[in-house]
């Protein structure tokens, strides 16, 4: 079986290469405040690299897709949005940095692979900016196509681009070789961005439902608190009513006791009035007796005076005094 295979003629590696750097203000227009960057990913990588004579020109273009969480400073509601940044990375080298002694470059092609992509998100000291730094390892290969004979049983090979993608992960993105040019499907970039935007819309709907659910929970908690307060108020009123009934009963008992005391006092007063009436009657009798006695005494005094006068007259007549 005959297949095409790439034979590596030279390699140049760039470690921890800066791919993208940007600062984002926390305060966004329309009362939006960026709270957090949820995800960041390189999308739609395209390799426009080429070589001419002994010069290697690496030219990479890609999209940086950010999904971030923001808050409405007026309402406090949280939502999500997307930012798509167009980025480009270029380098120029002499072919000798590839550690290859190549005389004929007519059958060579350039393949660039981006690996170990790192995303570093940080905030400024004043907490007013987010900074995004993307770096990675870039391997640049000079390869030559050759024909290889394989006697093994046939294998169902997948499309090369698909195989490359399956071998990647979130930190590794492979770039198509120069001869392929742009992506086979020119709508991939737009579709990926549209998918990210749809994801944002779904996240916004989920956030809206989450916020609505939280509002309902808050209202339910408020209603439960109101019911709890009402129940406590009702229990308090019941307790107050019971206390009032007890107080009224005690008051009625005291009233009855006071009435009994009043009745007893009325009886005492009646007896005192009877005694007083008897004493007044006795007093009148005593006063009458006293007046009569005074009259008797006065009559006796007058009689005594008359008797004395008569006696003096008798003495004068008798003794001639």
Buried b (16+ CB within 10 A) or exposed e, 108-122: bbbbbbbeebebeee
Q: Among 163-177, 253-267, 279-293, which is the least confidently predicted range?
A: 163-177
189: pLDDT strictly greater than 60: no
Model pLDDT, residue 168: 32
Higher pLDDT, 160 or 40: 40
Per-domain boundaries in the chain: 2-184
Mean pLDDT of 281-289: 88
Model pLDDT, residue 194: 65
Question: How many whole angstroms from its chain centre is CA 35?
Answer: 15
- Of the candidates 118, 165, 111, 169, which has an alpha carbon nearest to the alpha carbon of residue 15? 118
242: pLDDT strictly greater than 70: yes
Please give the C-alpha separations between residue 54 and each of 62, 105, 259, in angstroms, as whole numbers.
26, 9, 127
What 3-state DSSP class applies to 68? strand
Model pLDDT, residue 216: 86
234: pLDDT strictly greater than 90: yes
160: pLDDT strictly greater than 50: no
Model pLDDT, residue 158: 32
174: pLDDT strictly greater than 50: no
Q: What's the pLDDT band for 101 if we cut at 50, 70, 90?
A: low
Model pLDDT, residue 252: 92
| Pairwise CA distance, residues 261 & 257, whole Å | 6
Per-residue tokens: 196: 């990210």
Mean pLDDT of 158-176: 30
- Measure the N-to-C terminal CA separation of the chain; round to a whole number of Å: 208
Q: What's the pLDDT band for 102 if we cut at 50, 70, 90?
A: low
Q: What's the pLDDT band for 1 if we cut at 50, 70, 90?
A: very low
Model pLDDT, residue 167: 30
Model pLDDT, residue 3: 39
* Residue 69 near residue 203 (C-beta atoms within 8 A): no
* Residue 102 near residue 142 (C-beta atoms within 8 A): yes
Model pLDDT, residue 314: 77
User: What is the reported pTM?
Assistant: 0.47
| Pairwise CA distance, residues 71 & 84, whole Å | 20
* DSSP result, 190-212: HHHHHHHHHHHHHHHHHHHHHHH
Question: How many whole angstroms from its chain centre is CA 192?
Answer: 34
| Pairwise CA distance, residues 114 & 67, whole Å | 22
């Amino acid at each position: 079986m005959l297949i095409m295979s790439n034979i590596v003629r030279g390699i140049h590696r760039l470690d921890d290469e800066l791919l993208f750097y940007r600062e984002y203000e926390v305060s966004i227009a329309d009362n939006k405040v960026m709270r957090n960057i949820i995800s960041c990913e390189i999308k739609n990588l395209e390799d426009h690299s080429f070589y001419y004579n002994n010069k290697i020109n690496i030219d990479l273009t890609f999209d940086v897709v950010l999904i971030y969480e923001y808050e409405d400073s007026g309402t406090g509601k949280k939502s999500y949005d997307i930012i798509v940044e167009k980025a480009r990375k270029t380098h120029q080298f002499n072919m000798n940095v590839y550690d290859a002694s190549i005389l004929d470059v007519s059958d060579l092609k350039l393949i660039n692979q981006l690996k170990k992509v790192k995303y570093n998100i940080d905030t400024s000291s004043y907490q007013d900016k987010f900074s995004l730094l993307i770096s990675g390892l870039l391997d640049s290969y000079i390869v030559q196509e050759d024909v290889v004979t394989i006697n093994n049983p046939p294998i169902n090979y997948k499309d090369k681009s698909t195989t490359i993608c399956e071998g990647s992960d979130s930190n590794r993105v492979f770039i198509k070789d120069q001869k392929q040019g742009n992506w086979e499907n020119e709508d991939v970039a737009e579709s990926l961005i549209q998918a990210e935007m749809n994801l944002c819309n779904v996240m916004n709907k989920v956030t809206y439902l989450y916020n609505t659910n939280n509002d309902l929970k808050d209202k339910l908690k408020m209603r439960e608190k109101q019911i709890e307060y009402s129940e406590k108020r009702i229990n308090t009123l019941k307790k107050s009513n019971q206390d009032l009934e007890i107080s009224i009963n005690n008051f009625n008992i005291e009233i009855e006791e006071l009435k009994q005391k009043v009745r007893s006092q009325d009886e005492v007063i009646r007896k005192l009035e009877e005694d007083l009436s008897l004493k007044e009657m006795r007093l009148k009798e005593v006063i009458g007796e006293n007046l009569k006695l005074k009259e008797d005494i006065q009559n006796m005094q007058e009689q005594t005076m008359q008797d004395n006068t008569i006696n003096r007259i008798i003495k004068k007549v008798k003794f001639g005094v």
